[in-house]
Every structure is written in C-alpha cells, then in structure tokens.
Chains A and B, each alone.
Chain A
Amino acid sequence: MSFPWAKQYEPKHPVMKWVDDRLPLPRFVYNAVGAGYPVPRNLNYFWNFGVLAGMFLAFQLVTGIVLAMHYAANAGIAFDSVEHIMRDVNAGWFLRYAHANGASMFLLVVYIHIARGLWYGSYKAPREMVWLLGVVIFLLMMATAFMGYVLPWGQMSFWGAQVITGFFSAIPGVGETIRVWLLGGFAPDNAALNRFFSLHYLLPFVIVGVVILHIWALHIPGSSNPTGVEVKSEQDTVPFHPYYTAKDGVGVGVALLVFAALIFFAPNMLGHPDNYVPANPLSTPAHIVPEWYFLPFYAILKSFTIDFIFPAKLWGVLAMFGSILLLFFLPWLDTSPVRSANYRPTYKWFLLVLLVDVLVLGYIGGASPTPGVILIGQIATVYYFLHFLVILPIVSAMERPRPLPNSITEAVLGGKGGTAQTALAAE
C-alpha cells in the first residue's frame, strides 16, 4: 500500500525497463526506499536509528562471515584460534574488534530505536505488527549476542554460558533435564560451544528475514512521526529519496565516528578482562557479569531474593523473561488514542522515569551486590513492572492529553502546539 500521490517508477534506461518488465525488482526497491515511498516530512533524527540498526546488522554479517573462515569452534583450540586471528590473520585484529564492538553498536542503536518507539507511541494501531516483529528481532539479537560472547571461550564466555543456561534449571521438575539437553552435557563444553557457533551463524539470517517482515509491515501504514498525527495530504510528506537518504547519511556518519572511536582507540573498553583468560571450569571468576547490553535484565534477575510460592531463582528468571515478553502486550496495555508522549502531560513523566529506571538497572546489574545495591535494584525493578503493567493502563484511561495539531504540516509550520478541538481527533 502507499499513498495515492506516491511517485510511480518510470525506468529511464532501456535495460532497467527490460528488467522491470520481467522482474519488478527495481520498482520494488524504488517503492521501498526510493522516491516512491512518501514519508512524513517532520521526522527528527531519532528516526535514523532503524537505518542504523540495518547498517550494523550488515556489518556484523560481513565481519562475522570472514571471522568464521578463521575461527575454530572447538573447546580445545577456540581461544587460541581467536588469538591467531588477532596476531596472524591479515587485518584480523580489525575484523575481531569491529565484530565485538559492532555487536555493542547494534544493541545501542536498537535500544535507542526502541526508546523512540516508546516515546512516540510507534507501537500503536495500525503499527502493532511492526512493533511485535521488532520485539522478535530484539529477542533474536539477545540470543545471538549471548552465543557470540561464548565463542572466544574465555573465562567470561564459559561462566556466562554456565549462568545463562542455568536459568533453565529453575523450571520446576524438568529444568535440569532441559539444561543438560541444551548444553549437550552437564557443563558447557565442546558440544555446547559447537551448537552455539552453529546457531550464532544461523540466527543472524533469521534476523534478516524478520527485518524484511518488519519493514514490510511498516510500509503498509507508512512511517509514524513525532506528532503521532497520521498523514492527511501530499504536503505532509516528502519522498524517502532524496530527503531521508540524505538525512540518514548524517546519522550514518555520526554513528560510524562513534564506532571507529571504539574499534581503533578503546576496543576492549566494553569487554571484560577475564575473557582474555582461557576458560577454566575449575576456577570461578570473582564477579561474573554479562555484556553491558544485558545488565538491566541481569539486575532484574538478581532482584528476587525471597522464596514466595516459587523459589526466588524461578521468580528472577520469570521476571527477567517477563520484562521483555511484556513488550509484546504493550499495544494493548496502552489504550490512549494519542501516540506521541509530547502530547501526554502525565504519561510523559512516567516514561522519563522509566528510561532513567532502565539506566539505573543497568548500573546495578554491573555493580557488586552490597545490600544498598540490591535494594536500589529491587526498587528499580518494582518500578519497571509497575510502569508497564499498572501505571500505563491506568494513566492511559485517566489522562487528558494536550490538543493535537490538525495535520503534520500545521505542526511543522505553526510550532509544536495543536489547535484541534480534541485530542481524540487522532484516529
């Protein structure tokens, strides 16, 4: 679907016409990311992050495929094969640092992409499917990132695998059996390393598939925008190309600057020194911590300290998975007809608190567990669940939103304030 004023593809070169008549691929690209896709004219720079996520996914695929040509997924030599890449493979140090930090960049831009979706209500009708597919991508990314971190077979790799697969043993009755089945042994070893490598290679292509669905679902209603008001006329939109290809170019440049600074000048800043120690099942590191992008969820896991009906460990595991799975229900938890938090005077503050709350959880996840740290983590976890499951539905029902602009064009030309009689005008 597209807007009636979307430009139609007219091949200029006879070869392109010949191709287009037989396989309308040029037309498909033109309508997807070319001049044939009309986009709201008022998107801010937060709308760059979808393209950036796609770019980092592509980087991960390219660097990963080349790394796999040199890496050996065998518990006896995996660690040394990574050092072989670092020392003997041409530009191997670049490939490995780009892949390790590329994972961080990918997760970073995706977190900002998700935060943008939360703030501007991008998950609401008619874009629920875009959001649901996005959560699927996020889950796949987390699984892929975890398994990738195991591959160098250092101390954090091994003990991270031990801890994460240990979650499954919290399942009553069959938990231990499932854990052993997943690992292919009683502890992480060659069988686990091999299957993690196999899945680490497979899942990114699954992610690519879901990304295609994500973009397809997006193109049905078209992009949302900072006002949350739907496109009403041609003057509300500009063609994706050249307007947003140019704007995305700026975001690409800035993101690459950050990426390059990490790769070339602080390549180990986000890693843990213990992962330069070969895996040793007989020596447990003093602090087992996951990569930074898992820390908020790790903090939620550790916040449940009391057996109450279920063992504390099961509560922690349920809450940790629940904290992500609840995102699947977000479009139905939030009943407010207004999308953008800019027009929701009460909800806006709760959402800001949530964003700070997740940062606090991230800090707590990496800190050593003193009573003070545990207490702050528990309070922050309370707010996380209260926000989504209690506060959001209640505020949505009670809040009186600010008036919305009549149209995107009005918002652009007349400043942020709206003149529509009622906020419910946003259908």
Chain B
Amino acid sequence: MVRIGGFIVGVGFVFALLLGIFDTVYNWIKEPPAATAEHEFHAHPKKVDFSFNGFFGKYDNRQLQRGLQVYKEVCAACHSLRLVSFRDLEALGYSEGQVKTIAKGFQVPSLNPETGEPATRDGSPADRFPLVYANDVAARAANNNAIPPDLSLMAKARHDGSNYVYSLLTGYKDQKGYKNEKGEELLKHFPEAKTPEGLHFNPYFATLNLAMAQPLKDGQVTYSDGTAATLDNYAKDVSAFLTWTAEPKMEARKTAGLATLIFLVIFCFLAYGAKKQIWRNVKD
C-alpha cells in the first residue's frame, strides 16, 4: 500500500516536472534570455593587500587613524556611523584624552536642562557617532532622493566588503568608452544603459549607477604622517577603517583562534593515540 501510494505520488510529481522541463526548454529556445548590462558589465572588487588579510592579519593603527580622518573630513558629511562608540576609538591607539577631543568635535542630540527642549551638546566618549540626518525624509531631501547608508557595517554588508569599499571609491569612470574585461564597450552593447541624469557611473556598484558622486580626489585630505595624499591611499585607509568599524574584535578573534587551533591539533593527536592504545588488541 505504501509502495503503491508512493509510486502514484512520485509519478505525479515527475509528470508535473516533465511539463515544467518542456516549458523551460521551449521558452529557452523561443526566447533566449537577454543579457543585461548589470550582468555583463558589473566588475568584481579589486583585490587589495590589506594588513588584516590572512590568518595572522592585524589592523594597522596608523592606517585606521588616517581612515578615521578621511571619514571625519569627507564621508561624515552624509554617512553616519551609528553603531560605533567614541570610546571604541581607543583601539586605534588614541589616548583617553585624544578620544575625548575627537568626541567633542561631534554634536550629539540632547535636551536643554532648563527648558526640556531638544538641543545638542558636545559628544563624550560614552556617546556613539551621531546620526547625520534627523530621519530618512531629511536624508532623501538633501541627497537627490537617495539615503546615504550607515557605514558601521558596510564592510560586512557587501560581498568581499573591504575590497568593495576600496573599489567603489576608486572605481568612478567616464561611461563613454567604458569596456569590460572581455573588451566589449558598454554603450555600444547597451545604449539604453546610459547613466540617467543625477546618477554617477561606477562599474563596481551592483546597478552600475549610484547617487553618490565621486567623493574623494587626490589632495583632498591632508595627512599629517607623511603618507601621500592620493585617492588610492584615501580609499585604502577608509576601507581599512570601515573594516574595523564592522569587525572591531577581529584581532582578538584571530589570536584566540590560533590558540584554539593549536590546542585542538594536540587534542586530536592525543585522542587518536588513546584510540589506538585502547583498540590495540581488537581488530575492527
């Protein structure tokens, strides 16, 4: 009974699938799916040799500090960092006093102690980076109907995030004459993919066009440690900084991981030896 019932159910599913297979093949031949500009011309992130890559990788504090500087002077105009507390910045090598100074540079929402009216005050280490816009409507109004996303987790919220941030910042191009790896020219193949008014072409962005204009250019930020003031350095530094904001405990994680792996390898050898010893007189 079970086998007969199973057979009938099985044949039913298979018949429905065969109809589907026929349909898939028929449509495939009749109307081969058209290639899309996003699929053919979207570029994968460039590989950057970051100090935090690999098993032993660590953050480079001076790079993170430069990245914070780029964030403060450029990105922070539109993008918030709402999950990061100022006190966390001590991990970048700043002293308590320096963190207090950085926090003071930001105004955080508060109440007027006399009247209870909404007000702002200087930031303190216990505060988080404040929001840039009061709400999404304000953000849209100021940015041509686009919301600048919060950057706290950006390096984990995109595939290959650290490389992606670097590639996006350095990836703005003139759309005219842009060719992909295969040497095909975008506007020749997809004239309709021309960047609309108010958007900016960038092959590293999923839809190839984004609302943000190229934010960084050579010489825009002045570094105090002698690092060359180039777009490439800005992009690397700010991606490193955003990797830290997304994964601030990475160094502790890798250190604990190495100790754990060493412990477990020894454990495995001991367990295998114990097993051998116990089974020495029994053939399995």
Contacts and interface: CB of A to CB of B under 8 A. Distances in A.
Most B CB within 10 A of own CB, among A42, A256, A264, A305: A264
A306 B23 contact: yes
Interface in B239-284: 246, 248-249, 252-254, 256-258, 260-261, 264-265, 267-268, 271-272, 274-275, 278-279, 282-284
Given A87-B83, A274-B157, A304 B274 contact: no
B284 to A, nearest CB: 5
B52 to A, nearest CB: 12
Most B CB within 10 A of own CB, among A83, A304, A378, A412: A378
Interface string A334-349: 0100000000000000
Given A306-B19, A371-B27, A375-B24, A385 B13 contact: yes
Contacts of B254: 264-265
A94 interface: yes
A350 B63 CA distance: 57
A86 B246 CA distance: 10
A249 B28 contact: no
A378 B19 CA distance: 10
B2 A286 contact: no
A306 B161 contact: no
Contacts of B9: 322, 326, 385, 389
Interface string B1-38: 01100110111011111111101110110001100000
A367 interface: no
B45 to A, nearest CB: 12
A388 interface: yes
Give the interface residue-count category, chain A.
35 or more
Interface residues of B, number: 60
A283 B39 CA distance: 20
Tell me the dominant secondary structure on chain A's binding face.
helix
A332 B2 CA distance: 7
Given A265-B257, A273-B157, A41 B284 contact: yes
A393 B5 CA distance: 12
Contacts of A87: 83, 85, 88, 248-249
A306 B267 CA distance: 54
Contact of A371 (B6, B28, B267): B28
A273 B161 contact: yes
A370 B17 CA distance: 17
B253 A83 contact: no
Nearest to A372: B28
A402 to B, nearest CB: 21
Given A93-B253, A375-B25, A386 B275 contact: no
A93 B254 CA distance: 12
Contact of B253 (A94, A242, A252, A308): A94
Contacts, number: 165
Contacts of A304: 16-17, 20
Contacts of B248: 87
B81 to A, nearest CB: 12
Contacts of B268: 250, 253-254, 257
B33 A370 contact: yes
Interface in A386-427: 386, 388-390, 393, 412-413
Contacts of A305: 20, 23-24
A264 B271 CA distance: 23
Most B CB within 10 A of own CB, among A43, A253, A329: A253
A80 interface: yes
Contacts of A97: 253
A214 interface: no
Interface string A59-93: 00000000000000000000010010011000001
A389 B6 CA distance: 5
Interface string A287-325: 000000000000000011110100010010001001000
B3 A393 contact: yes
B217 interface: no
20 contacts: A243-B282, A246-B274, A249-B271, A252-B271, A253-B267, A254-B268, A256-B267, A257-B264, A264-B254, A276-B153, A276-B157, A304-B17, A371-B33, A375-B21, A378-B20, A381-B17, A382-B14, A385-B10, A389-B13, A390-B7
